[in-house]
Homo-oligomer: A and B are copies of this chain.
Amino acid sequence: MKSIGINGYGTIGKRVADAVSAQDDMKIVGVTKRTPDYEAKAAVEKGYDLYISVPERESQFEEAGIEVAGTADELFEKLDLVVDCTPGGIGAQNKTDIYEKIGLKAIFEGGEDHDAIGSSFNAEANYADNIGEDYVRVVSCNTTGLCRTLKPIYDISGIKKVRAVMVRRGADPSDVKKGPINSIVPTTEVPSHHGPDVQTIIDDINVMTMALLVPTTLMHTHNIMVELEDKITTDDVLDAFENAHRVLPVQKSLKLGSTAEIMEYAKDLGRSRGDMYEIPVWKESVNIENGELFYMQAVHQESDVVPENVDAIRAMLELEEDGEKSILKTNKAMGIL
């Protein structure tokens, strides 16, 4: 039973904590928090020991009636591995300033650069490469989403070139400060950074991406066009998606024709926090014309990377050598279809 900690109990951190707790070969020893807010309160109510990142604020937590178990540094000493879910850029600092100094293995999230961490992770695509690694980056929600569906296509057909337009939600559901309220905001750096990031996982795929922000909080969507190497059929692709891990073909004709209805479906399935860990692909959108495959998928930005974090822990701590077995074990514990 390996001892895991979460540094940064926020949108991703709290989900990884729950996912780790659902496994039988690892457990959460504690989580860290900077601010005494309702998330901190809920963490303690849920039974997690709470360690504070800013020791001077202990009295603030006391005033808010939130029990503190110690400081972040005290937590780190008790761990086999820390999952760093701090905001983008902080993780890389923590790596050099803290984890390397005390010899603590660490996972980082997609807000960090590949080069700063050294290794990037997607369970389906490169589990084996990360066995025993000390520092690993689980790639971002969007890169994870692209890898999940491109890998199976790559395996059955080969890929000449991928073009994708990423339609991104403006803010996370509980973020009420960020807009836009009524506007489309293009990311004018074209191609966007999403394409090259896929290559940190599958290095010989050529992926060109464009991205934009829209006024929704629910999910991103990806509009994907793939020039195929081999001649395959739409059914081949649908089969590949059905057989892939953490990919969920859905049907508009069953009233799953939008990100909102998919989020409702995740609630109906009884998922923790209503999360959708899989990448839903709209079956009706899958179509091949003149050797080019078109499809549309959605990405639940808060949760698709969560099972990947669990698998990364298993690889890094050498709890399981076979990626496929880890994926199935994680899925079963989390109720993934």
Name A residues whose Cβ lies closer than 8 Å to a Cβ of B: 14, 35-39, 41-42, 45-46, 64, 163, 165, 167, 169-171, 173-186, 188-191, 208, 210, 212, 214-219, 221, 223, 225, 250-252, 254-261, 263-265, 267-270, 272-274, 282, 284-287, 289, 292, 294-296, 298
Q: Which residue of B lies closest to A66 (CB)?
A: B254
- Given B174, B185, B210, B221, which contacts A176 in the complex, CB threshold below 8 Å? B185
Query: With contacts A181-B181, A182-B216 known, is A282 near B42, CB below 8 A?
Result: no
Copies in the complex: 4
Q: Please state if B260 and A176 are interface contacts (CB–CB under 8 Å).
A: yes
Given A38-B251, A184-B219, list of 10 further CB < 8 A pairs?
Answer: A35-B255, A177-B180, A180-B258, A181-B216, A183-B261, A186-B257, A190-B285, A208-B294, A210-B296, A214-B214
Whole-angstrom distance between the alpha carbons of A116 and B279 in the complex?
41
Q: What are 29 inter-chain pairs, A to B, with CB distance below 8 A?
A: A39-B255, A64-B254, A167-B167, A175-B179, A176-B179, A176-B180, A176-B257, A176-B258, A176-B260, A177-B180, A178-B181, A180-B216, A180-B260, A181-B215, A183-B216, A183-B261, A184-B214, A184-B298, A186-B221, A186-B258, A189-B284, A190-B286, A191-B287, A208-B294, A210-B225, A212-B296, A215-B216, A267-B273, A267-B274
User: Which single member of B165, B181, B268 contacts A179 (CB below 8 Å)?
Assistant: B181
Closest to A287 in B: B190
Which of A37, A163, A221, A254 has the most chain B CB atoms inside 10 A of its CB?
A254
A188–B296 touching, CB < 8 Å: yes
A39-B296 in contact (CB<8A): no
* Pair A214/B167 contact, Cβ less than 8 Å: yes
CB within 8 Å for A167 and B181 given contacts A191-B294, A256-B38: no
Most central of A35, A176, A273, A292 by chain B CB within 10 Å: A176
A303 to chain B, nearest CB (A): 11
Contact B190 A261 (CB under 8 A): no
CB nearest neighbor in B for A256: B38
CB-CB < 8 A to A218: which residues of B? 182-184
A70 to chain B minimum Cβ distance, whole angstroms, is 22
A186's contact among B178, B188, B217, B296, by CB below 8 Å, is which?
Answer: B296
CA distance A85 to B108 in the complex (A): 46
